[in-house]
Amino acid sequence: MSAESDLTDRVRRAVGTVSDPELRRPLAELGMISGVSATGGAVTVEVLLTVVGCPAADRIERDVRDAAAAAGGVDSVEVTLGVMTPSERAALTERLRGGRARSIPFTPESLTRVIAVTSGKGGVGKSSTTANLAVALAQRGLKVGLVDADVHGFSIPGLMGLVDDAGRTVHPTRIDDLIVPPIAYGVKVVSIGMFLREGDERAAVAWRGPMLHRTVQQFLTDVYFGDLDVLLLDMPPGTGDIAISVGQLLPHAEVLVVTTPQAAAADVAVRSGLVARQTGQRVIGVVENMAPLTLPDGTVLDLFGSGGGAAVAAGLSTEGETVPLLASIPLSPALRTAGDAGAPVVAASPEDAAARAIDALAAALVAAGRGLAGRPLGVRPA
């Protein structure tokens, strides 16, 4: 083998291992390295981007250049960027779907644990809890996806910092009919707010049942999450259309109920858990948010009272199944300010009491594992 052929092979192997920052898979596996050539120590690498205007283009070019330069024996590197043809994109989407028909991959047989986070009423901090829980799980090394199923009151993009300096929500990349979600703090995120026209980020989404059902179904079908350990759904408050749709589409999902200590919130929180149970979903625990806060002088501020979380857990427990109170998250100025800044408190202020409580919640969920009730085990009698 000539020196140039040997160099070409080394560079091809090196750049092939570079990971696409959106798809999280090697470029060689995705068919994005279209050519590598070498003349002396001068190397040229041709890369095919998935779409025109790919938001990850600069990073891919930089990573490919660095990988090629590190292959050894390289004097200079030129990276040229092209775009896949329609047939090449079709082959890519087929590869990403694993040859499966267009369908929801999160079946009972899937290895992905699906957890729907619900509440009886709005304003209890359900979305803040979900966003921070997603980041806390990702910090523990899990592959996490987050669906903002609160179509009318979407807030996840802002809480996760998926907003640019001008206040515009970050949009996902589309590869034909496949949607590649943006990633924040190691979490793959999708929300209806990402699909509104530029400048309409504050627009109201006034949709009724059938449109809501199709939206949630499309999020679960067409968004490429890849292999996930956990998929979290930030549900809208109450027991309306989306709760029923998720129950139909994901009857094996586990449910986490969020409430505040206040009796008015606790009473209606029980109803959201009962509706989930009616669709076959299992309530795995209760989270009490805005719990009493211990002040620097040692006094306790119980702005919303106390005991609501325990009351919801008791209300959802049955003779055959005890629903635990998994976490009590105290009132936290840091949690509020971090959410407004798009920096989840578990990442921005991990020593804050609320952040520690959410991290403990993540630890409890990981330790508990996924229940096997209703899940086919693929075992047949001999």
Total-model pTM: 0.86
Determine the 3-state secondary structure of 80 from DSSP: strand
* Rg of the chain on CA atoms, in Å: 24
Residue 211 pLDDT: 82
268 neighbors 240 (Cβ within 8 angstroms): no
Task: Give 266's pLDDT tier (boundaries 50, 70, 90).
Answer: confident
What's the rounded Cα separation, in Å, for the pair 5 and 108? Answer: 49
Is the Cα torsion angle 41, 47, 52, 54 positive or negative in sign? negative
Task: Give 297's pLDDT tier (boundaries 50, 70, 90).
Answer: confident
* 172 φ/ψ angles, rounded to the nearest 5 degrees: -75, 165
Residues 310-366 pLDDT 10s: 999 999 998 888 999 999 999 999 999 999 999 999 999 999 999 999 999 999 999
Helix ranges, 317-378 (H):
333-340, 345-348, 353-368
Q: List, in order of start, the domains of the chain with CATH numbers.
A: 3-96 (3.30.300.130), 113-368 (3.40.50.300)
DSSP 229-288: SEEEEEPPSSSSHHHHHHHHH-TT-EEEEEE-SSHHHHHHHHHHHHHHHHTT-EEEEEEE
What's the rounded Cα separation, in Å, for the pair 348 and 59? Answer: 25
Helix ranges, the chain (H):
3-16, 27-30, 57-69, 86-96, 126-139, 156-159, 209-222, 241-249, 263-278, 308-316, 333-340, 345-348, 353-368
109 neighbors 378 (Cβ within 8 angstroms): yes
